[in-house]
Each structure stands twice: as structure tokens, then as C-alpha cells.
Amino acid sequence: MSKITLKEISKILGISTSTVSKALKNYSDINVDTKIRVQELAKKHNYTPNAFAQSLRSRETKIIGILVPELVHHFFSSIIDGAINEAEKHGYLVIVLQSHESYEDEIKQLKLLVDKNIDGIMLSLSDKTVKYDHIRTIINEGMPVVLFDKITHLIDCPKVIIDDRKAAFSATEHLIKTGCKKIAHITGPLKPKTTIDRFMGYKIALETYNMPFNKTLIYTSENLSFEDGYNLAGQIMAEHPDIDGIFAFIDPVAIGVLKRLKEDKIKVPKQVSIIGFSNWFMSRTTSPALTTIDQPGYQIGRNAFQLLLKNLNHKREGKPFTSETVEIPTSVIIRQSTRAIMAPVI
Amino acid sequence: MSKITLKEISKILGISTSTVSKALKNYSDINVDTKIRVQELAKKHNYTPNAFAQSLRSRETKIIGILVPELVHHFFSSIIDGAINEAEKHGYLVIVLQSHESYEDEIKQLKLLVDKNIDGIMLSLSDKTVKYDHIRTIINEGMPVVLFDKITHLIDCPKVIIDDRKAAFSATEHLIKTGCKKIAHITGPLKPKTTIDRFMGYKIALETYNMPFNKTLIYTSENLSFEDGYNLAGQIMAEHPDIDGIFAFIDPVAIGVLKRLKEDKIKVPKQVSIIGFSNWFMSRTTSPALTTIDQPGYQIGRNAFQLLLKNLNHKREGKPFTSETVEIPTSVIIRQSTRAIMAPVI
């Protein structure tokens, strides 16, 4: 039997060959009715789905791309580690790229990946990204994309997240339950959703425990760096010498705080308790070791690849993309920079 | 004009077409005379070199691979960072793979890269690798390969290294010059060249300064971990309470030592000085901050890509591969875990 061609399908259905081609590839700019008509006709000629599947299969490179803001960063390198190991199990290799927190670089790097005909993309948004058409276009052209960690709900695709608000609530709650009465928060640059969510978690925890919110207790670390923490700790203690707890947005900042307080002979956790966020490797090496929120990077990477794989398979089978969101649980890692939990205050 | 074919060249020179093909690709198993005869004949027919160059060019994927023992490791992620940024400048994307210090995985991962028809490979050997035929074969088949950090001189290819022996000498010398009289060394697993070289640097420094070498002062960290350092420090101080200096093979181990000594109320650096190796990010966050050897990962990655690029170009131009070795200088980063340098002892 001779194979049915795109042209024949287009003639039978009275639509253009490019529409047929797009419908077979499940492009999202083709309406669902057309897709169903094209795909059913292709199936009816039982030899055609194979030809189609084969042509798609042969176009696969079995290479995917992962784009992160920064590679030399414990959390992101753990994510890449998880993604690479999971991808390898399924025969995929992983190209790694960095946006360096630049919107322009993000666009450029995604274009490089698309130009290489890779099969799919895992992406954590740069802090500067507030428009998403560059990503929507790629998805609309049939590229499976998964967002992780720094995501936006304005893009319709699978996502792997942690609940930053809930995690930050737990961090603040831990300080409250260990007896802190006046807690400062060091936040990050204001744009990214993670910053806002962590700040909100802090604020809601205070409200929940009937503690006053005082905006002079919010300090901003622009660079999320150890040095920022070191300097801000000096400023915090000068402006609010009666503070007894500090919740820092991310571990390096918390470790900077810790170092400064120790140098200034402020006892941790006796006078001031400190909690970080992310559970960087070094947080267990400090003295005292840092209490922090575990943000399991390896698992995030592994799950993100699994969601990508699902859509790689869906694409091959001509099914529409899924867009589920997987939330990875976080937990408080209790170490020595916070005090023991007190009996609940009734 | 019609293009000259491989078959025509093979007839004219009386050699097989596969030899002609290999000679044009500059494979190392073809002798130089044959290569010259083939390449000159190809050039003489002025349209042929273009056809050849084009065929080679069209086969380029502009993707290279980098294989490291572990990605979640400050030094290696810095190397990858340098390699990716440099590769991007030249239009190359980088697939990242890990051997997890396994010889079998190294072989497997290299095969994955070769099967993907990538253009070149940057490689740091696993600790378990003591045979090199899997790498030699790839190079002989015409793949540009660059070794970095964990290398062997038994493979003929470009290499980027630091002089571990010289660096370890400087580390030990720094302890001596700051007044240490009895210095322990925590070494790593014995196989890798880096371990042996760092141990030798320590030993030669003692000899140079007429200090006795005592093999009971050598301790081994199997996992190169913070926990190893923590535990070994206890053992060292129990067995040699009069020790006044410790040179640890790598920063996480040194930081484990630091934490243990502080817990045991041993003053650093007053009673015991500590020096690490590698300048991990966290070494500047400890209290006291760690004196260490700077091992510039970013520069190593950047240089390794530059050497790879050279051979990618040589391959395209039909020139033989170079095999130069670039040494990246290291330096002692003086922080607070060692004392001030004393007046020289004459």
C-alpha cells in the first residue's frame, strides 16, 4: 500500500498542507477540531501514523536544554544534577545554559537552544523577566517546556515549584515558637515571585501569632550575598538593638549575618536566633550550624525532567501537552542557630 | 566543473577510499606522507577543498561535551561556568555530564557524547580511571579532546592543569613561615595524581625547611568531606596533642577540622593553624575565615575551551591536533586561620 501524503490529507479535508503538518505535530495554533479531523484521517490509513511517528522520531535529537540563572550556586547545580541523572536514564543528554539573571540573555539562550533543534527545554526564569512572549512563542511552535523554581503562572506549561510562602511561614513560625519576639526579615530584590512569597510568608506568620508587623524590620539584600548579610547585620543591630530573631531570604545572607554577629560578640542563638533558606551545603559547616529551610534541588530537577519527558512522549504520540504543577515539599532543618522550641503559649 | 570524488583520488593515488576519507579528516592512524599526498591532490583540484570543507562544516553540530566527576562541587561548577561562557562566545553549546568518579560511567558517558556526533570533548578524569584506551580511541577517530584538572600525561592531547605539587608546597611553606613546627597533612584517596602531588608538595616543603617528615602525621580522608575533617581533627589532636598546623587536601575537610577544633576549645590559629586547598566559596564565610590555595576554576574552564577551539579549527582546516599543556597559576589566599608571617629564620 502506498503511504498517504500530507497533500492527499489536505485535499480530502480541504485545508492547506501546512495546516495538516501543524495539526499532525499538534501545534497549539491549530484548533482542536482540525487536529482531530487530521489525526483521525491519518490514523484511518493504518500505515500513515507509522510514517508520521517515524518522521517525528527521526527528527528527535535526544538532547534537551536546561537554562538556569546561575550555575555556580548550590541550589541550581543540585537541580541540574537531578535533571542530568534522570535524563540519562531515559537516553537524553542535557545542554546547560545560564541567563545570568538577564532577560536579554534568557531570550538569546532560548533561541540558541531552539536553533539546535533540541527536543525540549527546562527553564528557571531570570529575576529580570516580566514579559513571557519569548517563551509562549516557543511553546506554540511545538517545543515542550517545563518551568521550575522561578516560574510564572502566566505561562501555560508544566511547572515544578516549592511553596515559598508556606516555607517562609514555617521559618518565621519556627523563630516564634523558639521564643523570638522581634524578628527582622532580610528580603531579596523585589521583582521575583520568590522574594514576594517569602516576604508574605513572614508577614502572615506574624499576623497568625498576633505579632506586630513593622516595616522598619524589613531589610533588602540586593546581591543575595554573604557580604550583604554581613553588612546588613551591622545595620540591623544598630537600628534595632533589641531584635532577637532574623529570617534571611537565602543561606549565604544568613551566614553573613551569623559571622557579623559573632564578630560583634552577639550570642547566637542566645541573644539573636538566625534562620536561613535553601539549605546550602555550607549551612551545616558554620559554627553554630545554621537552621534553615530545605529546598530539595535534586528532586526539583528530577521531577522537572519527568514532566518534560511526559510532554516529549505526548508530542511523539500527537497528544496535547499537559500543564500540571508539581509542588515539592520543604521542611525546617533545625540546627544550632535557633533555640529549642518552647512550650506553646496559650 | 565536476567535483573530484573520493573514488577518483583513491584511483589516482592507488589507495583505498576509506584511507582517502581518513586522510582528509586527518585521522591519526593514517601516516603523514599519505595525508600530505591526499590533501595536496584535493587542494590541486581547487573546487575540492571547498567541497571537503563544506562536508566537514555541515557535519559540525556546534555542540561540545564536558564530563566532570561531580557537578555539585564549587570547583567543577566554576570550571563549567568558565567553559560555557567561553563556548557561547564562539557559538558552541555545552552538554554537561558526570562520571560520579566511576571508570565505567566515564566510558559510558563518553560513548553517549560520541554517538551524538558532538564536535569535541572536555574531560576531567574520574578518580578510578587508570586505563586510558577509551579516550585514546576517541582521539584517534578524530575527536578533539582536552583534559583538565584531573589529567594523565599518558594521553596525547591538550591539557589545562594547575601545579598541585607547587601549590601544596606553598601551602605547607605558609604554615612554616607563620611559625608552625609540627604540621599534619590530611590527604585524599591515594589513586588520583592530585592527591599524590599535594602530598609530595607537603613532604618537599618539610625537607626544604629541614623539618622531619613523620608518617604518623599523614591522615587520609576517603570522602573528602566536611564530616571526614571533623572526625579526623579529633583523632589528630588525640594522637598528636602538640600539633600546631594542619594542611588539608581540600577546603570542606579543612572546614570540618576548623569546626571540630573550635568545639574542642582549641584556638585557631593561636594554638593550631589550618590551611585548605581550592578556595571554595564557603572558605571565606567561616569564623575564622579559612586560609587556602586559590585554584581558579573559571579560568581553567575558559582555557580548556580555548584549547579545544584551537583543535576544532585545526580539524576543520585539516591540520594535525596540537597537544600543548597550559598551567594556570595558583596562589595562597591568606585569611584568619593562619598566623602572621614571622621574620625569616636564618
DSSP A341: P
Q: What angle do CA A328, A334, A336 make, to 5 degrees?
A: 150
Cell of A141: 511552535
Q: Which of B285, B286, B299 to mutate to test binding with chain A, by most A CBs within 10 Å of its CB?
A: B285
Across the interface, whether the CB atoms of A81 and B72 are under 8 A apart is answered: yes
Considering only the beta carbons, identify the residue of A62, A65, A71 that sits closest to B77.
A71
Name every chain A residue with its beta carbon within 8 A of the beta carbon of B256. Answer: 285
Per-residue model confidence as pLDDT tens digits over A322-340: 999 999 999 999 999 999 9
Domains B6-58 and B164-294 alike in fold: no
Name every chain B residue with its beta carbon within 8 A of the beta carbon of A282. Answer: 255, 281-282, 285
Spatial separation of the C-alpha atoms in residues B79 and B75, rounded to whole Å = 6
Which residue numbers of A have CB closer than 8 Å to B's CBs?
A: 61-63, 65, 71-74, 77-78, 80-81, 84-85, 88, 93-98, 112-113, 116, 226, 252, 255-256, 259, 262-263, 281-282, 284-287
State the pLDDT at residue A344: 60
Confidence label for A53 from pLDDT (cuts 50, 70 and 90): very low
Name every chain A residue with its beta carbon within 8 A of the beta carbon of B88. Answer: 97, 112
Annotation: CATH topology of B61-162+297-329: Rossmann fold (3.40.50)
State the pLDDT at residue A57: 46
- Pair A229, A186: CB distance under 8 Å: yes
Looking at the DSSP bridge assignments, the partners of residue B186 are B219, B248
- Helix, coil or strand: residue A180: coil
Mean pLDDT, residues B315-321 taken together? 92
Q: Is A172 exposed, middle or buried (0-12, 13-18, 19+ CB in 10 A)?
A: buried
Name every chain B residue with its beta carbon within 8 A of the beta carbon of A226. Answer: 284-285
Cell 500540571 -> residue: A324
Across the interface, whether the CB atoms of B77 and A78 are under 8 A apart is answered: no
Across the interface, whether the CB atoms of A263 and B287 are under 8 A apart is answered: yes
Confidence label for B58 from pLDDT (cuts 50, 70 and 90): low
Nearest residue on chain B to A284, alpha-carbon basis: B226
Q: Other C-beta atoms within 10 Å of B253: how many?
A: 30
Q: What angle do CA B290, B296, B301 make, to 5 degrees?
A: 145
Across the interface, whether the CB atoms of A63 and B263 are under 8 A apart is answered: no
> Domain residue spans in chain B?
6-58, 61-162+297-329, 164-294
Spatial separation of the C-alpha atoms in residues A46 and B29, rounded to whole Å = 50
Spatial separation of the C-alpha atoms in residues A80 and B37, rounded to whole Å = 48
Spatial separation of the C-alpha atoms in residues A93 and B91, rounded to whole Å = 19
Across the interface, whether the CB atoms of B98 and A80 are under 8 A apart is answered: no
Taking all residues of chain B, what is their mean pLDDT, rounded to a whole number?
A: 90
Helix axis angle, B226-239 to B251-263, nearest 10°: 50
Across the interface, whether the CB atoms of B74 and A78 are under 8 A apart is answered: no
Residue range A61-161+297-328 in CATH 3.40.50.2300: yes
Q: Is the pLDDT of residue B154 over 50?
A: yes
State the pLDDT at residue A28: 72
Task: Tell me how far the alpha carbon of residue B37 is from its chain's centroid.
Answer: 37
Mean pLDDT, residues A113-121 taken together? 93
Task: Give the residue with greater pLDDT, B277 vs B282.
Answer: B277
- Pair A304, A122: CB distance under 8 Å: yes
Confidence label for B300 from pLDDT (cuts 50, 70 and 90): very high
Q: Is B278 exposed, middle or buried (0-12, 13-18, 19+ CB in 10 A)?
A: buried
- Minimum distance, in Å, between the CA of residue A34 and any CA atom of chain B: 36
- Minimum distance, in Å, between the CA of residue B93 and any CA atom of chain A: 7
Spatial separation of the C-alpha atoms in residues B294 and B304, rounded to whole Å = 18
Task: Give the residue with greater pLDDT, A251 vs A54.
Answer: A251
H/E/C letters for each residue in chain B? Answer: CCCCCHHHHHHHHCCCHHHHHHHHCCCCCCCHHHHHHHHHHHHHCCCHHHHHHHHHHHHCCCEEEEEECCCCCHHHHHHHHHHHHHHHHCCCEEEEEECCCCHHHHHHHHHHHHHCCCCEEEECCCCCCCCCHHHHHHHHCCCCEEEECCCCCCCCCCEEECCHHHHHHHHHHHHHHCCCCCEEEEECCCCCHHHHHHHHHHHHHHHHCCCCCCHHHEEECCCCCHHHHHHHHHHHHHHCCCCCEEEECCHHHHHHHHHHHHHCCCCCCCCCEEECCECCHHHHCCCCCCEEEECCHHHHHHHHHHHHHHHHHHHHCCCCCCCCEEECCCEEECCCCCCCCCCCCC
- Pair B303, B328: CB distance under 8 Å: yes
Task: Give the residue with greater pLDDT, A259 vs B1.
Answer: A259
- Pair B276, B250: CB distance under 8 Å: yes
- Weakest-pLDDT range from A159-173, B33-47, B100-114, B127-141: B33-47
Which residues fall within 8 angstroms of residue A133, CB to CB, at 6 or more apart?
Answer: none
Cell 516557543 -> residue: A138
Across the interface, whether the CB atoms of B284 and A74 are under 8 A apart is answered: no
Helix axis angle, B103-115 to B133-140, nearest 10°: 20
Cell 575558559 -> residue: B302
Which residue numbers of B have CB closer than 8 Å to A's CBs?
A: 61-63, 65, 71-74, 77-78, 80-81, 84-85, 88, 93-98, 112-113, 116, 226, 252, 255-256, 259, 262-263, 281-282, 284-287
Q: Where are the alpha helices (DSSP H) in chain A?
A: 6-13, 17-24, 32-44, 48-59, 74-89, 103-115, 133-140, 164-177, 193-208, 226-239, 251-263, 297-316
Q: Is the pLDDT of residue B36 over 90?
A: no
Across the interface, whether the CB atoms of B71 and A84 are under 8 A apart is answered: yes
Q: Is the pLDDT of residue A346 over 60?
A: no
Closest CA to B106 of B169, B150, B64, B42: B150
A288-307 CB burial, b ≥16 within 10 A, e <16: bbbbbbbbbbbbbbbbbbbb
Considering only the beta carbons, identify the residue of B81, B93, B281 that sits closest to A116.
B93
State the pLDDT at residue B5: 75
State the pLDDT at residue B53: 46
| Model ipTM value | 0.78
Q: Report the CATH number of the B164-294 domain.
A: 3.40.50.2300
Spatial separation of the C-alpha atoms in residues A28 and A145, rounded to whole Å = 13
Q: Which of B63, B74, B75, B77 to mutate to test binding with chain A, by most A CBs within 10 Å of its CB?
A: B77
DSSP A14: T
Across the interface, whether the CB atoms of A96 and B113 are under 8 A apart is answered: no
Closest CA to A90 of A325, A308, A300: A308
Mean pLDDT, residues B294-298 taken together? 95
- Pair A31, B84: CB distance under 8 Å: no
Confidence label for B109 from pLDDT (cuts 50, 70 and 90): very high
Task: Give the residue with greater pLDDT, A114 vs B25.
Answer: A114
- Pair A310, A346: CB distance under 8 Å: no
State the pLDDT at residue A45: 72
Per-residue model confidence as pLDDT tens digits over B37-50: 888 888 777 534 44
Q: Which of A68, A102, A282 to mutate to test binding with chain B, by most B CBs within 10 Å of its CB?
A: A282
Per-residue model confidence as pLDDT tens digits over A241-250: 999 999 999 9
Task: Give the residue with greater pLDDT, A328 vs B345.
Answer: A328
Please measure the distance between the N-terminal and C-terminal CA atoms of chain A and give it in whole angstroms.
Answer: 81
Task: Tell me how far the alpha carbon of residue A331 is from its chain's centroid.
Answer: 17
**CA distances from residue A157 to A139, A148, A307, A325, B185 in whole angstroms, order as listed:** 8, 10, 10, 8, 53
Q: Other C-beta atoms within 10 Å of A215: how many?
A: 7
Considering only the beta carbons, identify the residue of B77, B97, B282 that sits closest to A282.
B282
Please identify, in words, the CATH class of the domain defined by B6-58.
mainly alpha
- Weakest-pLDDT range from A29-33, A313-317, B239-243: A29-33
Across the interface, whether the CB atoms of B72 and A77 are under 8 A apart is answered: yes
Per-residue model confidence as pLDDT tens digits over A265-310: 999 999 999 999 999 888 988 989 999 999 999 999 999 999 999 9
Name every chain A residue with its beta carbon within 8 A of the beta carbon of B77. Answer: 71-73, 77
**CA distances from residue A228 to A81, A251, A343, B336 in whole angstroms, order as listed:** 28, 11, 34, 20
Name every chain B residue with its beta carbon within 8 A of the beta carbon of A62. Answer: 116
Helix axis angle, B6-13 to B17-24, nearest 10°: 110
- Minimum distance, in Å, between the CA of residue A71 and any CA atom of chain B: 7
- Minimum distance, in Å, between the CA of residue B78 and any CA atom of chain A: 6
Helix axis angle, B32-44 to B17-24, nearest 10°: 90
- Helix, coil or strand: residue A106: helix
Name every chain A residue with its beta carbon within 8 A of the beta carbon of B285. Answer: 226, 252, 255-256, 259, 282, 286
Q: Is the pLDDT of residue A105 over 50?
A: yes
Spatial separation of the C-alpha atoms in residues A339 and B253, rounded to whole Å = 28
State the pLDDT at residue B46: 52
